Structure 1
Amino acid sequence: MKLIYPPDTDEETLLEYAPEADIIIGWRPTERLLEKAVNLAMFINPGAGAQHLIELFRKHNRNRNVILINGHGNAYFTAQHAVALLLALAGKVIPHHNWMIDGHWRRGDDFSSSIPIRGRKIGLLGYGAVNQNVHRMLSGFDVDFAVLRRDWNKETGKVPTAIAKYDSAQLHQFLKAVDILIVAVPHTSKTIGMIGKEELNLLGADGLLVNIARGSVIDENSLYIALYERRIAGAAIDVWYEYRPEPDGKGRKYPFHYPFHTLDNFILSPHGRPRPSAILNAGARSSIIYPDLHRMPTGL
């Protein structure tokens, strides 16, 4: 196997190397690049989620058969961010930080006391590469786990702790059983609006929610009302509803349609992700990308 590392990511440079490639690893190829890659058999997206590429490859594959692979290359980083959001939410890190910036010192236990997660039941909605990493990272916190997965026939290997298993038809039973919900499912026709008013009510007034999947999975209006009316205790969101927001009168851009930024039980995160170089370093290539590369010659 010969690996080619272009000296830069300028399109003209990539076009120069494209005809040599049987496999390309990258994020957003242009039609021009795909046309130039005459020997291309496989394209690996090293991130998490490839829905932004589906239409492009559907069009391209009218006359060819290029395999599109979701490489899950940033699954570890996304899981790390999910855990960070959960701990910041439970520990009230953001309000405490803001109070100290404003000069408020030790306001007392009545003001936004931290929420211990020990003894809680964490619900992992989706059990792909991201939530499998979340499970492993949180396994030392003395918590119980429930997992809802669409297909339990898929091989997951050894899980880090005991889990209560649920399938897609048991969403409501699953939500009744947990008080921390971490959402990591793909954007599909079946997951759009998967969590709405009824589902948030089932999570309960002590419930904490972290969404690192796609904004569309949780109904925006229902989420805002649940937070505003304290039907759930809090949420931390890294994925949004409007990715090309218009600036308001003060030039501010908010990727949502309700005033989430005014809530004190809500953490906003700007769809955080690692730099591409962090994913494509030598260690990540060997552990994440190489297994996908070896699929092609073996036919797997």
Structure 2
Amino acid sequence: MGNKKILYFDRTTEEFKAILLGHKPSGFDLYFWHEMDDNERERILPEVDYLLAATHKTGEEIFSKAANAKFFQKTGIGVDHIDLSSADTYGFPVSNTPGANATGVAELTILMILALYRKLPLMNRTTKSGKWEMWEHRPTSFEVEGKTHGLIGFGNIGRQTAKRSHAFGANIIYYDAFQAASEHEEALDAKFLSLEEVLTQSDIISLHIPLLPETKGLIGKQELELMKQHAILVNVARGGIVQEDALYQALKERKIAGAGIDVWEQEPPQVNNPLFDLENVIATPHIGAGTRDTLNRVLKTAFQNILRVEKGQSPEFVVNNVKQPRERKVSTE
């Protein structure tokens, strides 16, 4: 019997490809979607045993043709790019890798908070241009200690962020669809409040929730108007959660002090996105989990789950309604 086949859907660099291959278990071959032409894709899809992707948009076009694939493994957390109803229809369990990216996203959140509070991009640019603005920005620069950090979403990533913010001396409050276990609250002296209370009481607000129908456009004009004028907003969750037009107006009119944006309504965003013109915005290209350390954890979890299924067990971390791996339908040997 030949090696099992894993099909990876996202684009890779040579360095990233080497990391993927380094994590691949023995007894498996890894194929790369973006290295194939259309005919090769049509040929390989019915043959592969496992589907693996990070952010590739996946739906019926893939699920309907992957006749022998056992399940779909997502690297990372968010599954808004996967048509879960289609996965259900074609009998695919869809798994993610919870917790593996929490440290990277939490650290980026703290980095953005500090950079906004100390105007780091501005200071870097003006200093290199020959200006010596040693005193000009002190009245509008801040420390984290003693501030109230409101987290919207208190799962793995939210709690890891709160842990770091609490270490800086921030007071932790949070809103989530579900109140956290008491031990999590006690460890961080965190207080569970309503969304409105978090918005009105926080000096720092960071988002750590999935993009769902009920969270799409959650932060709009009304919510931004509830925030303090000196408050900052950091979005490392999903772009569709924040209404960008409303955020632009709030920032331009200085109704809030600043924003760190790692995720966008459209990715990549248009080059003329008006948020790019604002000095009080830090923009990054969805790199919350973009570290070598996170990648190693995510791939380890993903490939361990594939090995689990290959041994006849059910996949872990399934996010849709199908819990058991599919049976192979035809032989392609």
TM-score, normalised by the number of residues in structure 1: 0.78
Alignment of 1:126-275 (within 5 A): 126-152=153-179, 158-159=184-185, 160-166=187-193, 170-243=194-267, 253-254=271-272, 256=273, 259-274=274-289
**Aligned equivalents of 1:74, 1:197: Cα separation in 2:** 30
Shift of 1:177: 2.1
Consecutive unaligned residues in structure 2, runs of 5 or more: 1-23, 317-322, 325-333
Consecutive unaligned residues in structure 1, runs of 5 or more: 247-252
The partner residue of 1:67 within 64, 70, 93 is 93
**Aligned equivalents of 2:256, 2:295: Cα separation in 1:** 38
Report the counterpart of residue 121 of structure 2 in structure 1. Answer: 94
Per-residue CA shift, 1:68-105, capped at 9, x if unaligned? 12323423222221111111111110110010121112
Structure 1 pair 121–274 and aligned structure 2 pair: CA distance change class (3 A): closer
- For the 8 Å contact 1:83–1:137, the answer to whether it is kept is yes
**Aligned equivalents of 2:136, 2:242: Cα separation in 1:** 32
Shift of 1:18: 8.2
Per-residue CA shift, 1:183-223, capped at 9, x if unaligned? 11111111122112222122111111101122221222221
Q: Residue 243 of structure 1 aligns to which amino acid in structure 2?
A: E
- For the 8 Å contact 1:120–1:179, the answer to whether it is kept is yes
Structure 1 pair 43–157 and aligned structure 2 pair: CA distance change class (3 A): farther
* Deviates most, 24-33 or 76-85: 24-33
Matched position secondary structure for 2:263: coil
Per-residue CA shift, 1:6-40, capped at 9, x if unaligned? 5654246998798574x654323685587446150
- For the 8 Å contact 2:95–2:315, the answer to whether it is kept is no
Between the two structures, name the one with larger relative contact order (CA 8 Å, sep ≥ 6): 2
**Aligned equivalents of 1:84, 1:290: Cα separation in 2:** 31
- For the 8 Å contact 2:201–2:228, the answer to whether it is kept is no
Structure 1 pair 237–196 and aligned structure 2 pair: CA distance change class (3 A): same
Structure 1 pair 108–165 and aligned structure 2 pair: CA distance change class (3 A): same
- For the 8 Å contact 1:46–1:289, the answer to whether it is kept is no
- For the 8 Å contact 1:48–1:75, the answer to whether it is kept is no
Matched position secondary structure for 2:82: helix
Q: Residue 10 of structure 1 aligns to which amino acid in structure 2?
A: F
Report the counterpart of residue 296 of structure 1 in structure 2. Answer: 314
Q: Residue 154 of structure 2 aligns to which amino acid in structure 1?
A: Y
**Aligned equivalents of 2:62, 2:53: Cα separation in 1:** 14
Shift of 1:269: 1.4
TM-score, normalised by the number of residues in structure 2: 0.71
Structure 1 pair 117–74 and aligned structure 2 pair: CA distance change class (3 A): same
Matched position secondary structure for 2:314: helix
**Aligned equivalents of 2:175, 2:314: Cα separation in 1:** 31
- For the 8 Å contact 2:76–2:298, the answer to whether it is kept is no
RMSD: 3.4
**Aligned equivalents of 2:79, 2:96: Cα separation in 1:** 6
Structure 1 pair 121–289 and aligned structure 2 pair: CA distance change class (3 A): farther
